[in-house]
């Protein structure tokens, strides 16, 4: 397998648009996991993960890390290709159905509570929910 990925950083957005094409020796549909790392912070806390099946979104609000503040992250996939959620010891995963050789689009976003845009989990979650991504390749 081989992947080609193109990143687009829309000005003024907390989200990066990613267009990915996976080449495979098989024409069979693939299930791809796109993840957020389970990175313990400070005293070993993992933060809060929110999984939205209807919107095909997964977001994370990190625990406080002393004077460093909190980080947040999210992944949004095309609801038409959404295949569920999974996790392993190191990652929270959102699953998407992919056709080999055909591009698929997803979005990855991040924020910092000291960055001036999102001081609370509620503000971040509201921002993630308000996104209306374009999934056309």
Whether 105 and 6 have beta carbons less than 8 Å apart is answered as: no
Q: Which of 105, 103, 92 is nearest to 37 (CA)?
A: 92
**C-alpha atoms less than 13 angstroms from C-alpha of 79 in its C-beta half-sphere:** 11
Average pLDDT over residues 4-9: 94
Sorted by where each begins, the domain ranges of the chain are 2-130
pLDDT, tens digit, 9 for 90 and up, residues 33-58 = 999 999 888 788 899 999 999 999 99
Confidence of residue 99 (pLDDT cuts 50, 70, 90): very high
Whether 1 and 32 have beta carbons less than 8 Å apart is answered as: no
> What is d(CA 65, CA 43) in angstroms, rounded to the nearest whole number?
8
Whether 46 and 63 have beta carbons less than 8 Å apart is answered as: yes
Task: Report the predicted TM-score, pTM, of the whole model to 2 decimal places.
Answer: 0.94
DSSP state of 66: G
């Amino acid at each position: 397998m081989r992947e080609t990925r193109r990143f687009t950083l829309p000005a003024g957005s907390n989200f990066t648009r990613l267009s990915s094409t996976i080449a495979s020796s098989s024409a069979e549909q693939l299930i791809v996991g796109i993840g957020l790392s389970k990175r313990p912070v400070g005293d070993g806390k993992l933060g809060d993960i929110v999984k939205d099946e209807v919107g095909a979104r997964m977001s994370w609000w990190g625990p406080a890390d002393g004077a460093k503040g909190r980080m947040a992250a999210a992944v949004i996939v095309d609801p038409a290709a959404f295949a569920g959620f999974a996790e392993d010891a190191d990652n929270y995963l959102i699953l998407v159905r992919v056709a080999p050789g055909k591009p698929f689009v997803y979005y990855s976003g991040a924020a910092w509570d000291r960055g001036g845009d999102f001081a609370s989990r509620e503000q971040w979650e509201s921002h993630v929910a308000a996104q209306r991504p374009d999934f056309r390749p």
